[in-house]
Structure 1
Amino acid sequence: MKKDEMNSFLKKIPRGVIYHKVTDSVRYFLASMLAPLHRKEKVIEFENIFASYCERKYCVAFPFARTAIYFVLKALDLPKGAEVILPPITIKGIVDVVVDLGLTPVYVDLDVETINFRLDQLREKLNPNVKVAIITPLFGLVPDVSAMVALLKANGVFVIEDFSQCLNGRYDNKRVGTFGDVGIYSASSIKTLDTLGGGLAITDDQVVHDRLRNAQAGLMPARRTALIKKAWVNLIRNVATSEPVFSFLTFPVLQLIRQRNPEAALKQTGHRDKGRLATLPLLWFCRYTSVQAQIGIEQIKGVIAQDAARVANVEFLKASCEIDDFPKTTQESRNVYWQLILPVSNALEAQAYFAKRGIDSATSSLELVCALKDYPNRADLQTAQRIYRNGIFIPCFPHLSQSDMRRIVMAVNGYFQERGHAKEG
């Protein structure tokens, strides 16, 4: 047996990674315990760097993306009952802030090729009561943002781009996050730019910026315990997905969990509480810290190189797999593939199939928010349901080896030869 074949037999491939070195995660954990949290000049320095990086005039940092969205919506002074168009797959916290402000969520189904709003259905949802739309390029896939924004602006709709999974994505060479009125980036764990959380609002509108800056000034002091918890979770995830820990400890534990309860290990970072919040947590209204800002200043320098390696991996996988099932987006899209999503007939079966071949995979931990039973305006959206239930992430992170990728190709081809393709409807 050749050396790389022997290593392939022993080595297991994780579903994803933390985009920091383990040594960085150790440093950040220590900083979360010991470093000052409220060095305002450090936060401003990172805001300016991030605004310039994203080709916007202004950036205002909040503790979470949902907090940033909350204050953007509040700054618009919308009437109660005004409608906000949302993606059917997103974090539940965004729906929580919409409902808390007395606004009405409205959902539009997804296009199978872009995993974003279907333009025909978006057009049908527009009416004089729709005041805001949140466009979310899921999984690093770039839709025709220009057409969406043009349609929305023609109908007087304020546009928020949640590009948390699509930093550095472009459409027709224009950055995702710069088409709408405001862009929001979530710098949370496992993102390509991960600062132990944070919601970064970018805009060219000085009035919006000034209102967001006033809101930021009114936030409560950060809680060190919360930052320590985030840094600890990141460190554990980083160690758990690193070699040889993943192959000899993490993967066997995941297999035991799957044997006892297959659903328990299906979601990328676990299942979330789907219940409606009576009030928004105070933690959502604490400041973004200077520790997080310093992490951002350090880590942002390496994002483009990591993107290039990940995109090259995806291009190899898509070209080598004998299937035509991956989403295709558009010719003008420059996708960054935060995750490589693959529609399958049964996600649990696919996960088990890949796991037998030493490849860990998962479905998204985002929620199918259009189906949440405790929230208004539930909608039965067929494409969103299929993607949520049976869209599985294929490993594509930057430091995969050629041997790793050949194994992934063999597993994907083998799965479709044995199990067939996902059915429409």
Structure 2
Amino acid sequence: MIPVNEPLILEKEMEYVNEALKTGWISSEGKFIKEFEQRFASYVNRKQGIAVDNGTNALILALRALDMPEGSEVIIPSFTIISCALACVYNNLIPVFVDSEADTWNMDISKIEEKITDKTRAIMIVHIYGHPVDADKILPIAKKHNLYVIEDFAEAIGSEYKGVRCGNLGDISCASFYANKVITTGEGGMCLTDNEELDKRLRQLKNLSFVPERRFVHYNLGFNFRMTNIQAAIGLAQTERIEESVKKKIWIGKTYNRLLKPLEEQKVIKLPVEKEWAKNTYWMYGVVLNSAPGLDAQEAMKRLAEKGIQTRPFFYPMHTQPVFEEFPWFRKESLPVSENISKYGFYLPSGLTLTEEQIVKVIKCIKEVLI
């Protein structure tokens, strides 16, 4: 079986983890946490990085730090991971779902303003599968309506918008270091900001809202979202070779593009795009089936698995999630692009350990299944 993803762990990670173990700094204190925060923040050109235990909690923490009134609305893409909606719900905020662009699969910017009401307080932008959003179109909307911008760049570490790295486009930007990300700590995440007051609030909230003056006296309810020094040791080692990892991801994407182009020309599948203003890292290499072959993503994935190719489905749109139907703010609506790419989209093996020989095998099996 060719895995859909396999993390690349090398000697430096082991060296740093062993150092943490030998020195006894294994919890949420230790030198690797600060070094990792500083190194990663510097990579995306942010002043402050606040390491947390996972990417979902980074989003929850970001929204809590912005201190929006209960019942405020947050514009988010429907086509994304549920973490984005959970961050709203867990902060007593209302997620408002927007359809996708057919080519980039990112939130359709032309549909945003029609969703804004007098309760809207923020927009959450998500760079889907490595392709950045068109920031020059979305940021002016946020400014016009005086909205916060939360940037989820979990899938776009190393991607760039007009030469600016993703992670540098929001009031607070959030990363994930899950095992399938460009850099990993197993689990883990980070909030990044240039705002000193937000930095202070994020650090307090993630650490049970302890205050320096009287540690066990609390004026706010916070979270235990702390990253361990062991995780940070892995993350620091991964960050030290991040350019190499990004280069490998791009190579994987470009290789798939070249070998799958004939199938796109035959209108069998649609491949990911790279706009002229974008640097796409192809975090996961996704394809969308044309309905003409007569099978959906689930059936194609089943057939590929029988041939030893592991795949993953695209996101299930937020506006169709059964779990949200019980909430009073939920309303049934049709967001056709999100629904289509969810039904016909899936992604191929894309991990950093992938070889050209494996890619060739994947392509061979795709042709056998689809043609």
TM-score clears 0.5: yes
The one-letter code sitting in structure 2 at the alignment partner of 1:302 is R
Q: How far does residue 173 in structure 1 lie from its aligned partner after superposition?
A: 0.6
Deviation (angstroms), 1:169: 0.4
Q: Give the root-mean-square deviation of aligned CA atoms.
A: 2.8
Contact 1:67 1:285 survives alignment (8 Å):
no
Q: Deviations over 1:387-424 (max 9, x none)?
A: 2233111223344333322222333334442xxxxxxx
State the match for 1:17 in structure 2: 6
State the alpha-carbon separation in 2 of the partners of residues 331 and 196 from structure 1.
Answer: 33
Alignment match, 2:186: 196
2:143 maps to which of 153, 157, 161: 153
Q: CA deviation at 1:157?
A: 1.2
The amino acid across from 1:406 in the alignment is V
Structure 1 residue 367: deviation in Å?
4.6
Q: Does 1:293 align with 2:236?
A: no
1:7-86 mapped onto 2 (5 Å cutoff): 12-21=1-10, 36-86=26-76
1:397 has 2:351 as partner: yes
Alignment of 1:185-334 (within 5 A): 185-218=175-208, 285-321=224-260, 322-324=262-264, 325-334=270-279
Distance 1:100 1:320, change over 3 A: closer
Identity of aligned residues (%): 24
Equivalent residue, structure 2, for 1:227: none
Q: Distance in 1 between matches of 2:321 and 2:14?
A: 35
Q: Is the 8 A contact 1:62 1:288 kept in 2?
A: yes
Return the letter of the residue paired with 1:129.
K
Give the direction of change, closer, same or farther, for the CA distance of 1:352–1:283 in structure 2 (3 Å limit).
farther
- What residue ranges of structure 1 are gaps of 5+ in the alignment? 1-11, 221-281, 418-425
1:407 aligns with 2:353: no
Report SS of the residue matched to 2:105. Answer: coil
**TM superposition shift of 1:303:** 2.4
Report if aligned partners of 2:75, 2:95 keep a CA contact under 8 Å in 1. yes
User: Which residue does the alignment assign to 2:299?
Assistant: 349
Give the whole-Å Cα distance in 2 for the aligned partners of 1:408 and 1:283: 46
Letter of the 2:9 partner, please give it.
H
Q: Residues 195, 400 of structure 1: CA spacing in aligned structure 2 closer, same or farther, 3 A cutoff?
A: closer
Match of 1:370 among 319, 322, 327: 319
Aligned length: 344
The structure in which a higher percent of residues are helix is: 1
- The residue number in structure 2 matching 1:9 is none
CA contact (8 A) 2:205 2:222 kept: no
- In structure 1, give the amino acid aligned to 2:302: A
Q: What's the offset of the Cα at 1:70?
A: 2.4
Write the distance in 1 (CA, Å) between the matches of 2:320 and 2:71.
20
Q: Aligned partners of 1:40 and 1:370: how far apart in 2?
A: 42
Partners in 2 of 1:284 and 1:372 — Cα distance? 27
Q: Go from structure 1 to structure 2 and tell me whether the alpha carbon gap of 1:405 and 1:36 turns closer, same or farther (over 3 Å shift).
A: closer
Return the alpha-carbon distance in structure 1 between the equivalents of residues 5 and 61 of structure 2: 32
Tell me which amino acid in the other structure corresponds to 2:323.
Answer: D
Structure 1: distance between partners of 2:127 and 2:225? 27
Equivalent residue number for residue 283 of structure 2? 338
Q: TM-score, normalised by structure 2?
A: 0.83
User: How far has the Cα of 1:351 moved from its partner?
Assistant: 1.5
Amino acid at match of 1:303: I
Q: Residue 60 of structure 1: SS of its match in structure 2?
A: strand
